[in-house]
C-alpha cells in the first residue's frame, strides 16, 4: 500500500469526522467551514505553485472567472451544482492553460505581478459590464444536486458535503502527485531550474502543469463560493485584495502539508470574524497585525506549530 | 486643433499625477526589489499631513505663499518617519526571506496603517484648497485651466530630472547603480548596502508622501485614497518596466495622454485605457517597456 | 524530503481539533428582555464620510432616544424601547464586498443572536444580503441602498426584507420632471457619473425619464464615465466645458464629488454649465461656501438639507440633538438611517398593541410593518410597493444657494413630487415603466 501514508490517513479521518459534523454543526460554523474549504482549495493551488518557488498575486482572476462562469450559467437556466462547479472549474482551467504559455516564462516577482495585472483586467471587464450588474454583481438561486433541490439550511448542508467530497479527493490527489517524480520536480525547479533542465526535464512544462492545476482549483473555489453565497460581485471575487487574501492564507498555512491550507483558511476566517465582532472599527488593523506576527514569528506557517508539538513529544 | 491642445494639456497633467504617484514605488523596487504596497499609505499619510499643515498654516497671518512650504514639509515628515521606522523595524528582518513574503508584509502593514489613519484623523474629510485658490486660473486656447494643476507638470519634471541626475552624475548614484546591479558583489566591494537600503526606502517614501501631499489641495482628503493609488501606481510601473525611472516616465505619459484622448473622444472606454495599455505591453513585452536586463544565475 | 512525511499524527490532531470546534453550538447569551439590532454601515473606506458615519450617527441618536423613551411626537406615547424592550445595537463595518457581508450576516444571526438588521448602504451589499435574509427568515430593513433590483429581480415576493425609502428610479424621474418644469428650453444634456453600478443606474434612469418627458432633447454621446474614486477630473472637466450641452447630470458623491467641485470651481465650470447633482446633499454642509451655488440638487428624497425647514417636533428635535452632538447638521444618510430605525419602533409597538400589550412575535412585527404608513423624521413613509415591503415617499429637488445672513447653504426653488408621481406602481419593473411612458404616475 505505497499510496497510504499518514497524511492520507489523517485527511481521511478529518473527512469522515467532518461528514458527520456537517449534520450537527451550528449554521454559522458550517458556513465558515464551507468558505474555508473553498478558499483552502485555492490556497492549495497556490501551495503547489509555491513549491516550485512561484507565488501569484492574481489568483482572484481564476477564482472570479470560476465564480462568474457558474453564476452566468444559472442565468440561462442551469442550477445543478455538479454542472456549475464543473463548468466553473474547467473554464478557469482553460484560461490558466492559455495564459500559462505566457506566464510560465516568468519567475519571482514578475510572475506574481503579471498574474495580478491579468486579474485587474478581468476586474475592469466585470465593472464595465452592466448586464452582469457591474459592481453590484448579481444573484443566483440555490443550487440543485442531481435533481435533489434542498431548501433553507439543507442547501448549506448539501453544499458542504459536496464541497467536502471534492476537496478531499483533490487534496489526497495533490498529496499523492507530490510524491511522484514529476511532483518532486517542483522543489527542484524552486532550487535550481537550470540544473533541472540539464537533467532532461522542462522546467517550463513543470510550471505550466502546476499553473493549470492552480487555475482549476481556484475556479473550483470560486464556483463553490458563488453557490454558497448566492451572489457574485467583482469586489469579493476578482479584486486584487482577494488575491492578497489567498496569498495570506497560503503563508499562514505554510508549505509543510497539503491539509494545512484548510486550517490556514479557517484561521483566516476566524480572525476576520472575531475582529469584525470585537473591533468593528479596527478589523483591518487586527488582520494586518496578525499577518505581520505570523510572518515574523511563525515563518513556516501554522503547520510549524504542529511540527514543534511533534518534536517536543518525540 | 483646440481639442488636440486640450488633450495634450490634460494628458500632461494626468501623466504628471501618475508619475508622482508611481515614482516612489519604482525607486524602491529598482534598488531593493521590493514591491512596496505600503506606498499607498505613504500617499494617504502625505495627503492627510499636508491638509493638516496647510489648514494650520492658514490659521496664522503668515504670507500666503508659505502654504506651499507646508506641502513639502508634510512630505518630508511623513517620508522620513515612516521610511526609517518601516525599514529599520520591519523590512530589514525580512530581507533574507522570499520576495513575495516581503510584499505580503508590506500589504499587512498597509492594512494596519489604513486603520491607524482613521484613528488619527477620523473619517471626516479634510480640505486644503487654499494653495489651489491662490494660484488662480489661466486660459489656454480659450479654455480655463487652474494653474495649480499645471504646476504639477513642473514638479514631476523637477523630480524626474533630479532623480536622473542624482543617479547618473553623483557618486552616491553610482553606488546605488552598483547595488542595483549586484547586491552581493557591492557589499563585498565595501559598499554599505544597509545604508543604501535605508536611504532608498526613505527617498521612496518621501516621493510617495509628496505625491499625496501635492495632490491634497485638489481633492477631498478622505478615507480610501491610498487603495486607489496602489493599483494605479502598480499599473504604471508594470507598463514602464519595474524599477526603471525612465520607464515610469514613459509609462505615465503613455497612460496619461491616451486617457485624456479617451475622455475627449470615447469617454465610454476611459476605464479600460489603463488596462488595455497594460495588456498590450504585457503581451508584447511582459517585462515592461524599460525593464533592466536580468542576469541568469546558474 | 521529510516535510512530506510523518505528518499523520499532526493531521489526526487537526481532525480531532476540527471535530471539537464544529461540535460547539452557537452560544447565544443575550438577555431575554432586549432586542438585538445589528446596524451595518460603512465605518471605513470611501463610503464612510459621505454615508456610513452620518448614517451611524442618525441611527445611534434614534436608538438612544428609543431606549430612553425621549422621542417626541408621534412616538412620545409608546414608552421606552421596542415594545418595551431595550435595543442592544451592534454597529459594524459594511466594507469588503458582498461575500464578506453575507458571512458576517450569518455570524450575526446565528452566533450573536441578532433579532433584526437595520442597515446596509451599498446596493451591492443589499443585493447580496436579500436572499440570505429570506433564507434565514431574518427581519431586515434596508434604510438607504438604491437599486430597484432588490424587489424587482432578486426577490419579488419578500417576506422578511423591507426597504424604507424610495429606490433609484424615483431619483431619475424627479430630476427629469424638475428639468422639464424649470429648464423647458434646454437643448441637450450630458453627464458625469462614476463607472460602477450606482453611476450607471443613475444615468440610465435619468436618461430614460428624459426621453419620455422631453423626447426632443438629445443626450450627449460623450457623457463622462470616470473610474470610481479616481479623484482626478482635469480631462473630464475640459471635455464637459467644451461640450455644447448646457445641462450636466451627475451622481458623484463623497470624496469624488468634493474633488470634482474643487477642480471644477477653480476652472469656472459651474458658471458655464448647469449642474444637476443627484446626491450632493451629503457634502453641502461640509463644503459650505465652496458648494457650487446655483446647482440643481437632490438628496434621494425629502432628507438632509431639504428637511431644514420642516417644522415638526420630531424634525426639530432631531436636527437639534444631531447638531449638538456631532457639530454638523444631519445629511441624507442620517435621516434615512433614522427613518429605518423608526420603522422598527413603529412596527414593534404596533404589533405589541395588537398582541394585547405582550411582546410580539417576528411574524406579528412583519405583519405590522407590511403596507403600513408611518412617520419618518421629516416625511411620511408609505410601505405600499412590492407587497408592502418597498416604501414610497415624496421627493424633492431644488437649487442650492448660499444664505449670507444665516451663513449656511439653503435650498431654493424647491419642487415637491408626490410619492405616486416618481415611484413606479406596484408590480412593474422600473425600467419597463420608464420605457412604457410612466403609466399610472399621479403627479
Per-residue pLDDT of chain A (314 residues; tens, 9 = 90+): 566 788 888 888 889 889 888 888 888 888 889 999 999 999 999 988 888 888 898 899 999 999 999 999 999 989 898 999 999 999 999 999 999 988 888 777 778 888 888 898 898 888 888 888 888 888 888 888 888 888 877 888 899 999 999 999 988 888 888 777 766 777 777 777 777 777 777 778 888 988 999 999 999 999 999 998 888 988 888 888 899 889 989 888 887 788 888 999 999 989 988 888 888 778 889 999 998 998 888 887 877 777 666 666 54
Range of the structural domain that residue C123 is part of:
34-166+310-392
pLDDT at A311: 60
Question: CB contact, 8 Å: C92 with chain A?
Answer: yes
Strand ranges inside A117-253, DSSP E: 138-139, 231-232
Inter-chain CB proximity A229 and C128 less than 8 Å: yes
Instruction: Provide the CA B63 distance to its chain's centre, in angstroms.
Output: 29
The size of the A-B interface in CB pairs under 8 A is 109
Residue C144 belongs to some domain of the structure: yes
pLDDT per position as a tens digit, C125-181: 998 899 899 988 999 999 999 888 899 988 899 999 999 999 999 999 999 999 999
Query: Quick count: other Cβ atoms within 10 Å of Cβ A300?
Result: 17
What's the whole-number average pLDDT of chain C?
Answer: 90
Q: Which of A3-17, A296-310, B190-204, B246-260 has the lowest mean pLDDT?
A: A296-310
Contact assessment for residue C182 and residue C411, using Cβ atoms and an 8 Å cutoff: no
Whether residue C22 is predicted with pLDDT greater than 60 in this model: the reply is no
What's the whole-number average pLDDT of chain B?
Answer: 89
* CA angle, B274 then B277 then B278, to 5°: 80
Instruction: Provide the CA B42 distance to its chain's centre, in angstroms.
Output: 9
pLDDT at C29: 52
Q: Closest-CA residue in chain B for C192?
A: B267
pLDDT per position as a tens digit, B3-34: 999 999 999 999 999 999 899 999 998 888 88
Q: At C105, which CATH number? A: 3.40.50.2300
Both C280 and C405 in one domain: the answer is yes
What is the rounded CA–CA span in Å between residue C342 and residue C393? 15
Both C187 and C295 in one domain: the answer is yes
3-state secondary structure of C112: coil
Share of chain C above pLDDT 70, in %: 93
Chains that touch A (3 or more CB pairs under 8 A): B, C
3-state secondary structure of A43: helix
Residue C103 belongs to some domain of the structure: yes
**Backbone φ/ψ region at C95: left (φ over 0), alpha (ψ -120 to 50), beta:** beta
Q: Closest-CA residue in chain A for B286?
A: A114
What is the rounded CA–CA span in Å between residue B220 and residue C254? 8
Residues of C with CB under 8 A from a CB of B: 43-49, 52-53, 195, 222-227, 229-232, 234-236, 238-239, 241-242, 254-259, 262-263, 266-268, 286-287, 290
Q: Which of A118, A194, A244 sits opposite B298 (nearest CB)?
A: A194
Question: CB contact, 8 Å: B93 with chain A?
Answer: yes
Q: What is the number of alpha carbons within 13 Å of residue B285 lying toward its C-beta? A: 14
Q: How sure is the predictor about C23, in pLDDT bands with cuts at 50, 70 and 90?
A: very low
Average pLDDT over residues C196-210: 92
Chains that touch C (3 or more CB pairs under 8 A): A, B
Q: Closest-CA residue in chain A for B103?
A: A109
> For residue A270, with 0-12 CB atoms within 10 Å meaning exposed, 13-18 middle and 19 or more buried, which class applies?
middle
Residue C121 belongs to some domain of the structure: yes
Helices (H) and strands (E) counted in chain A, each on its own, are: 14, 2
Query: Quick count: other Cβ atoms within 10 Å of Cβ B269?
Result: 14
Share of chain B above pLDDT 90, in %: 54
Q: Describe the crossing of helices B225-240 and B2-32 by its angle, rounded to 10 degrees.
A: 90
Residue C10 belongs to some domain of the structure: no
Contact assessment for residue A307 and residue C10, using Cβ atoms and an 8 Å cutoff: yes
Q: Which of A150-159, A259-268, B220-229, C278-287 has the lowest mean pLDDT?
A: A150-159
Q: Closest-CA residue in chain C for A310?
A: C10
C-alpha cell at A231: 451572489
Task: Break chain B into its structural domains and give their ranges.
Answer: 2-223
Both C133 and C38 in one domain: the answer is yes
Inter-chain CB proximity C290 and B129 less than 8 Å: yes
Share of chain C above pLDDT 90, in %: 73
What is the rounded CA–CA span in Å between residue C296 and residue A139? 35
Q: How sure is the predictor about B96, in pLDDT bands with cuts at 50, 70 and 90?
A: confident
Residue C202 belongs to some domain of the structure: yes
Residues in A touching C119 (Cβ below 8 Å): none
Measure in Å the smallest separation between the Cα of A263 and chain C Cα atoms.
8
Residue C1 belongs to some domain of the structure: no
Secondary structure element (H or E) that encloses residue A47, with its range = helix A27-51
Q: Which of A20-24, C91-95, C195-199, C364-368 has the highest mean pLDDT?
A: C364-368
Q: How sure is the predictor about B279, in pLDDT bands with cuts at 50, 70 and 90?
A: confident
pLDDT at B294: 57
Both C345 and C419 in one domain: the answer is no
Whether residue C7 is predicted with pLDDT greater than 70 in this model: the reply is no
Q: Which of A232-236, A239-243, B112-116, B293-297 has the lowest mean pLDDT?
A: B293-297
Whether residue B293 is predicted with pLDDT greater than 70 in this model: the reply is no
Residue C70 belongs to some domain of the structure: yes
Whether residue C362 is predicted with pLDDT greater than 60 in this model: the reply is yes
What is the rounded CA–CA span in Å between residue C101 and residue A236? 10
Q: How sure is the predictor about C30, in pLDDT bands with cuts at 50, 70 and 90?
A: low
What is the rounded CA–CA span in Å between residue B62 and residue A93? 64
A124: Cβ–Cβ under 8 A, 6 or more apart, which residues?
B271, B272, B275
pLDDT per position as a tens digit, A244-303: 889 989 888 887 788 888 999 999 989 988 888 888 778 889 999 998 998 888 887 877
Q: How sure is the predictor about C15, in pLDDT bands with cuts at 50, 70 and 90?
A: very low
Q: Which of A244-248, B154-158, C336-340 has the lowest mean pLDDT?
A: A244-248
> For residue C289, with 0-12 CB atoms within 10 Å meaning exposed, 13-18 middle and 19 or more buried, which class applies?
exposed
Q: Closest-CA residue in chain B for A110?
A: B287
pLDDT per position as a tens digit, C100-115: 898 899 889 988 889 9
Inter-chain CB proximity B108 and A288 less than 8 Å: yes
Domain total for chain C?
Answer: 2
Give the alpha-carbon dihedral of C141, C144, C149, C152, to 10 degrees.
50
Q: Which residue has the higher pLDDT, B287 or B91?
A: B91
Q: Describe the crossing of helices B39-59 and B99-121 by its angle, rounded to 10 degrees.
A: 30
Both C290 and C268 in one domain: the answer is yes
pLDDT at B276: 84
Q: Which of B240-249, C256-265, C305-314, C415-424 has the lowest mean pLDDT?
A: B240-249
Inter-chain CB proximity C48 and B123 less than 8 Å: yes
Amino acid at each position: 500500500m505505497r499510496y497510504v501514508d499518514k497524511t492520507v490517513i489523517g485527511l481521511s479521518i478529518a473527512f469522515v469526522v467532518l461528514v458527520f459534523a456537517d449534520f450537527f454543526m451550528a449554521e454559522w460554523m458550517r458556513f465558515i467551514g464551507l468558505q474555508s474549504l473553498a478558499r483552502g482549495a485555492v490556497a492549495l493551488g497556490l501551495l503547489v505553485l509555491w513549491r516550485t518557488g512561484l507565488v501569484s498575486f492574481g489568483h482572484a482572476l481564476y477564482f472570479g472567472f470560476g465564480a462568474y462562469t457558474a453564476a452566468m450559467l444559472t442565468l440561462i437556466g442551469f442550477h445543478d451544482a455538479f454542472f456549475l462547479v464543473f463548468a466553473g472549474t474547467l473554464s478557469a482551467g482553460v484560461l490558466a492553460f492559455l495564459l500559462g504559455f505566457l506566464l510560465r516564462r516568468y519567475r519571482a516577482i514578475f510572475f506574481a505581478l503579471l498574474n495580478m495585472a491579468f486579474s485587474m483586467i478581468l476586474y475592469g471587464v466585470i465593472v464595465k459590464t452592466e448586464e452582469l450588474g457591474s459592481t453590484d454583481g448579481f444573484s443566483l438561486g440555490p443550487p440543485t444536486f442531481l435533481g435533489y433541490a434542498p431548501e433553507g439550511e439543507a442547501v448549506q448542508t448539501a453544499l458542504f458535503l459536496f464541497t467536502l467530497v471534492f476537496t478531499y479527493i483533490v487534496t489526497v490527489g495533490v498529496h499523492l502527485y507530490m510524491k511522484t517524480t514529476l511532483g518532486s520536480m517542483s522543489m527542484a525547479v524552486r532550487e535550481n531550474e537550470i540544473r533541472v533542465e540539464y537533467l532532461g526535464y522542462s522546467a517550463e512544462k513543470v510550471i505550466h502543469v502546476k499553473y493549470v492545476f492552480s487555475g482549476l482549483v481556484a475556479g473550483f473555489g470560486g464556483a463553490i463560493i458563488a453557490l454558497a453565497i448566492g451572489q457574485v460581485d467583482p469586489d469579493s471575487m476578482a479584486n486584487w485584495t482577494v488575491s492578497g487574501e489567498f496569498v495570506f492564507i497560503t503563508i499562514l498555512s505554510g508549505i509543510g502539508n497539503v491539509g494545512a491550507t484548510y486550517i490556514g483558511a479557517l484561521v483566516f476566517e476566524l480572525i476576520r470574524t472575531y475582529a469584525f465582532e470585537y473591533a468593528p472599527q479596527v478589523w483591518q488593523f487586527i488582520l494586518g497585525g496578525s499577518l505581520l506576527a505570523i510572518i515574523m514569528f511563525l515563518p513556516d506557517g501554522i503547520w510549524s506549530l504542529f511540527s514543534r508539538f511533534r518534536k517536543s513529544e518525540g | 486643433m483646440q481639442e488636440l491642445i486640450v488633450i495634450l494639456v490634460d494628458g500632461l497633467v494626468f501623466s504628471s499625477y501618475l508619475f508622482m504617484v508611481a515614482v516612489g514605488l519604482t525607486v524602491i523596487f529598482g534598488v531593493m526589489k521590493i514591491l512596496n504596497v505600503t506606498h499607498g499609505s505613504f500617499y494617504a499619510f502625505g495627503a492627510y499631513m499636508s491638509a493638516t499643515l496647510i489648514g494650520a498654516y492658514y490659521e496664522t497671518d503668515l504670507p500666503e505663499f508659505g502654504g506651499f512650504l507646508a506641502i513639502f514639509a508634510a512630505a518630508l515628515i511623513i517620508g522620513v518617519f515612516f521610511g526609517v521606522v518601516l525599514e529599520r523595524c520591519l523590512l530589514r528582518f525580512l530581507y533574507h526571506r522570499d520576495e513575495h513574503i516581503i510584499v505580503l508584509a508590506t500589504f499587512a502593514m498597509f492594512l494596519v496603517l489604513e486603520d491607524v489613519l482613521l484613528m488619527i484623523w477620523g473619517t471626516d474629510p479634510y480640505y486644503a484648497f487654499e494653495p489651489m485658490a491662490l494660484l488662480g486660473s489661466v486660459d489656454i486656447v480659450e479654455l480655463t485651466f487652474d494653474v495649480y494643476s499645471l504646476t504639477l507638470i513642473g514638479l514631476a519634471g523637477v523630480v524626474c530630472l533630479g532623480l536622473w541626475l542624482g543617479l547618473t552624475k553623483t557618486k552616491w548614484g553610482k553606488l546605488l547603480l552598483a547595488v542595483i546591479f549586484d547586491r552581493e558583489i557591492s557589499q563585498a566591494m565595501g559598499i554599505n548596502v544597509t545604508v543604501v537600503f535605508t536611504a532608498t526606502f526613505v527617498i521612496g517614501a518621501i516621493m510617495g508622501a509628496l505625491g499625496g501631499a501635492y495632490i491634497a489641495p485638489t481633492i477631498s482628503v478622505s478615507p480610501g485614497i491610498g487603495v486607489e493609488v496602489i493599483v494605479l501606481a502598480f499599473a504604471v510601473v508594470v507598463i514602464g518596466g519595474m524599477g526603471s525611472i525612465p520607464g515610469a516616465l514613459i509609462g505615465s505619459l503613455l497612460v496619461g495622454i491616451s486617457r485624456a484622448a479617451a475622455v475627449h473622444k470615447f469617454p465610454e472606454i476611459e476605464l479600460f485605457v489603463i488596462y488595455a495599455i497594460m495588456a498590450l505591453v504585457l503581451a508584447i513585452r511582459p517585462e515592461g517597456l524599460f525593464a533592466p536586463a536580468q542576469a541568469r544565475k546558474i | 524530503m521529510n516535510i512530506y512525511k510523518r505528518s499523520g499524527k499532526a493531521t489526526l490532531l487537526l481532525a480531532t481539533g476540527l471535530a471539537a470546534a464544529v461540535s460547539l453550538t452557537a452560544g447565544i447569551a443575550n438577555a431575554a428582555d432586549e432586542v438585538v439590532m445589528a446596524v451595518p454601515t460603512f465605518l471605513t473606506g470611501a463610503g464612510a464620510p459621505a454615508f456610513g458615519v452620518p448614517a451611524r450617527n442618525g441611527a445611534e441618536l434614534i436608538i438612544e432616544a428609543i431606549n430612553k423613551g425621549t422621542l417626541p411626537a408621534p412616538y412620545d406615547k409608546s414608552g421606552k424601547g421596542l415594545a418595551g424592550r431595550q435595543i442592544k445595537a451592534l454597529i459594524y463595518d459594511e466594507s469588503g464586498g458582498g461575500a464578506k457581508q453575507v458571512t458576517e450576516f450569518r455570524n450575526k444571526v446565528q452566533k450573536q443572536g441578532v433579532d433584526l438588521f437595520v442597515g446596509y448602504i451599498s446596493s451591492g451589499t443589499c443585493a447580496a444580503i436579500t436572499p440570505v435574509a429570506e433564507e434565514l427568515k431574518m427581519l431586515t430593513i434596508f434604510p438607504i441602498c438604491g437599486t430597484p433590483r432588490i424587489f424587482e429581480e432578486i426577490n419579488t415576493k419578500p417576506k422578511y426584507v423591507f426597504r424604507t425609502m424610495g429606490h433609484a428610479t424615483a431619483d431619475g424621474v424627479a430630476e427629469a420632471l424638475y428639468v422639464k418644469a424649470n429648464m423647458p428650453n434646454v437643448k441637450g444634456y450630458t453627464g458625469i457619473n462614476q463607472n460602477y453600478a450606482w453611476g450607471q443606474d443613475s444615468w440610465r434612469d435619468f436618461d430614460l425619464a428624459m426621453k419620455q418627458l422631453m423626447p426632443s432633447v438629445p443626450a450627449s454621446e460623450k457623457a463622462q464615465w470616470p473610474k470610481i474614486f479616481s479623484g482626478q477630473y482635469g480631462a473630464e472637466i475640459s471635455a464637459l466645458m467644451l461640450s455644447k450641452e448646457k445641462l450636466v447630470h451627475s451622481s458623484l458623491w463623497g470624496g469624488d464629488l468634493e474633488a470634482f467641485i474643487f477642480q471644477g470651481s477653480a476652472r469656472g465650470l459651474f458658471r458655464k454649465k448647469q449642474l444637476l447633482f443627484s446626491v450632493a446633499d451629503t457634502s453641502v454642509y461640509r463644503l459650505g461656501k465652496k458648494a457650487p451655488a446655483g446647482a440643481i440638487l437632490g438628496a434621494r428624497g425629502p432628507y438632509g438639507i431639504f428637511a431644514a425647514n420642516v417644522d415638526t417636533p420630531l424634525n426639530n428635535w432631531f436636527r437639534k440633538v444631531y447638531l449638538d452632538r456631532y457639530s454638523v447638521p444631519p445629511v441624507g444618510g442620517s435621516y434615512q438611517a433614522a427613518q429605518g430605525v423608526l420603522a422598527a419602533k413603529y412596527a414593534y409597538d404596533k404589533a405589541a398593541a395588537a398582541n394585547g400589550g405582550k411582546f410580539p412575535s417576528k411574524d406579528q412585527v412583519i405583519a405590522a410593518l407590511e403596507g403600513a404608513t408611518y412617520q419618518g423624521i421629516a416625511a411620511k413613509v408609505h410601505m405600499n410597493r412590492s407587497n408592502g415591503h418597498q416604501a414610497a415617499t415624496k421627493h424633492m429637488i431644488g437649487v442650492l444657494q448660499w444664505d449670507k445672513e444665516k451663513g449656511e447653504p439653503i435650498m431654493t426653488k424647491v419642487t415637491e413630487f408626490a410619492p405616486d408621481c416618481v415611484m413606479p406602481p406596484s408590480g412593474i419593473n422600473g425600467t419597463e415603466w420608464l420605457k412604457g411612458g410612466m403609466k399610472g404616475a399621479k403627479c
